[in-house]
Amino acid sequence: MGAEPREVLRAVYGYDAFRPRQEEIIRRVVGGEHALVVMPTGGGKSLCYQLPALLREGTGLVISPLISLMQDQVSALKQLGIRAAFLNSSLTRENRRAVRQQLRNGALDLLYVAPERVTTGAFQSLIDRAEPALVAIDEVHCMSQWGHDFRPDYLRIAALCDRLPGVPFVAATATADTETQRDLLSLLQFSDDSLFVTGFDRPNIRYTVTRKRKGKQQLLRFIRENHHGEAGIVYCHTRKKVDSTAAFLTDEGIRAVPYHAGLSDEERETHQSRFLREDGLVVVATVAFGMGIDKPDVRFVAHLDLPKSLEAYYQETGRAGRDGLPSNAWMAYRYGDVVRMRQLLARDTENLSPAEEAHHWKQQHKLNAMLGYCETTACRRQVLLNYFGDDAPDACGNCDTCLNPVETWDGTVAAQKVLSCIARTGQRFGAGHVTDVLLGGDTEKVRRFGHDQLSTYGIGEELGRSGWKSVIRQLVAANYLTVDMAGYGALKLTSACKPVLKGEETVELRKEPKRSRSKTSTRKKTAPDLPDTPEAEALFERLRTKRSALADEQNVPPYVIFPDRTLIDMVRQRPQTRREFADLHGVGKVKLERYADEFLPLLR
């Protein structure tokens, strides 16, 4: 297009400023360099490859596992006046032929394809002739065996880098810890300076964790008190629980639909389409639902079962509040969830290869970190960000432990006992064996290593096995301990524990919480950040009705017309002219021409 990135940002997308590091990444890619982009969900990853594709000659290829969502993603781009298409099995043979011809003719700015298609010989021959502007690999963590959602299909994509020399690649993900980042740089053969990590914080999301007692009733109360009539996602582990929870919410007056692999393709597609296109629908799902969901106004994500890792939890909760408006991540857990997940991990562990055994212990560590997050007394956002190697120096003031501090006990002596026991056993053993030593257990391993002769043997009778494991998990969560995956889950002391061992620092540990009604949020407005007046709420509803009518006419999700954030901006700014309408957030040249005359009469 021969334009500056900022000019395109305003003219096409209707945004006045880039988010952190976006412009730096975009200029690098426009210059022909690769980039590995790690940004939080809703942080603007897609702009880092969409905008360079508009500025470079040729078509930008976007590799995405989200076949069911490509149509809506392409619809959103077309609303901006961007020439976009997708190529997948949902198209007829004639339509696929037409898209391939568009690609050959240079008539596309962006083409979305699935990973299994892009690695076929026929498609590679096609792109050899098409001179792509760039290649974007979305959800690139799927390429790494250390990522939380490894997919073998993705490994073959790396070969494209050699096949397309001179073509910049943009690899994007929201969830990649430092180990996964290193692995991806190696697999893609990117230089270290191609890595861009903008941080993992989602300050608009409020994190709340409560002990599960009557999970469905707790969930119902949470939705009614905070999000009645708003869109949300509820995650459960099993199909049976998904079905029963969706039926329960429906019976209680909450519009809800199930989503899991046991439903027919048609049912899943219908439920997902309804979620994307209807206001205020709740989807109850297994983790099969949600990757890449672009719906910006998901106001809450709830977990009725413990996620398998903090990576999975972070990605799933990240589907809330993509528009930057206040949202909730709520979870109910009990220790039985952990026991069940450990049993699943313990199955089929005989005759593992060294690599498989290392992976098994890594999964155990991830589960322990997840539980440590649940049991922490510290700011949950700090624990979450520290896990990803991100700095979080101050308490956030927007999680349950900040808003309603938990009751604690002085665990300094207990921490000293654990840390001393780990040191005296050589930092070579996991939580189970350390607990056996503290409790004076008469096990074969204790006798074999002579740990019944240590000074820490049997000094922990004041706590039971679950109590000591809770202490250990909280010490891991507080970064006094780490888990060595190369050492099969061995607990290691960190430098942070030295003041504790010397008696120079106290350790506060979490007490078993008393049963009480959770207090997560008291917001009951029609929309967050909307002026708290009946007139404003009525206007917002009229604007939503107009948006839904336009979306139905075009057979696209309402947020593709305008997200809630733009409607709220309309209510606040009350534009009266086309020039004032053009200044609204998310109104570029194409949307100004299409929709100013539709919405201005409602605002005058």
pLDDT in tens, 271-312: 988 998 888 999 999 986 765 577 889 999 999 999 988 988
pLDDT exceeds cutoff 70 at 2 = no
Per-residue pLDDT for 66 more than 80? no
* Beta bridge mates, 493: 481
Q: Hey, what CATH topology would domain 205-353+363-403 get?
A: Rossmann fold (3.40.50)
CA torsion, ordered 546, 548, 549, 552, to nearest 10 deg: 160
Banded model confidence at residue 176, pLDDT cuts 50, 70, 90: confident
Output the six-digit token pair for 266: 């048609």
Q: How confident is the model at residue 69 (pLDDT cuts 50, 70, 90)?
A: confident
In this chain, the answer to whether the domains covering 5-197 and 408-510 adopt an identical fold is: no
Degrees (nearest 5) of the Cα angle 365, 368, 369?
Answer: 85
Q: What is the pLDDT of residues 461-519, one digit of tens each?
A: 999 998 898 899 888 878 798 877 555 678 999 999 999 999 999 999 987 555 444 44
Is residue 353 pLDDT above 90, yes or no?
Answer: no
- 601 HSE (CA, 13 A, CB side): 4
pLDDT at residue 518, rounded to an integer: 43
pLDDT in tens, 374-402: 888 889 999 999 888 887 778 999 999 99
- pLDDT at residue number 516: 46
Q: What torsion do the CA atoms of 515, 370, 318, 53 make, to the nearest 10 degrees?
A: 180
Neighbours of 175 (CB within 10 A): 24
CA distances from 587 to 13, 308, 379, 565, 594 (A): 7, 40, 37, 11, 10
CATH architecture group of domain 534-603: Orthogonal Bundle (1.10)
Q: Are the CB atoms for 240 and 261 separated by under 8 Å? A: no
Q: Which of 330 and 72 is assigned the larger pLDDT?
A: 330
Q: Is 342 exposed, middle or buried (0-12, 13-18, 19+ CB in 10 A)?
A: middle
* CATH fit for domain 5-197, picks 1.10.260.40, 3.40.50.300, 3.30.70.3270, 3.40.1390.10: 3.40.50.300
Bridge partners (DSSP) listed for residue 333: 211
pTM score > 0.85 for this model? no
Q: How confident is the model at residue 235, as a pLDDT?
A: 96
Confidence at 525, pLDDT banded by 50, 70, 90: very low
Given pLDDT bands bounded at 50, 70 and 90, which one contains residue 520?
A: very low
Considering the segment(s) 408-510 as one domain, its CATH architecture is: Orthogonal Bundle (1.10)
Q: Where are the domains of the chain?
A: 5-197, 205-353+363-403, 408-510, 534-603
pLDDT in the model for residue 288:
67
pLDDT at 372: 83
| 328 φ/ψ sector (left φ>0, alpha ψ -120 to 50, else beta) | beta
**pLDDT at site 335:** 64
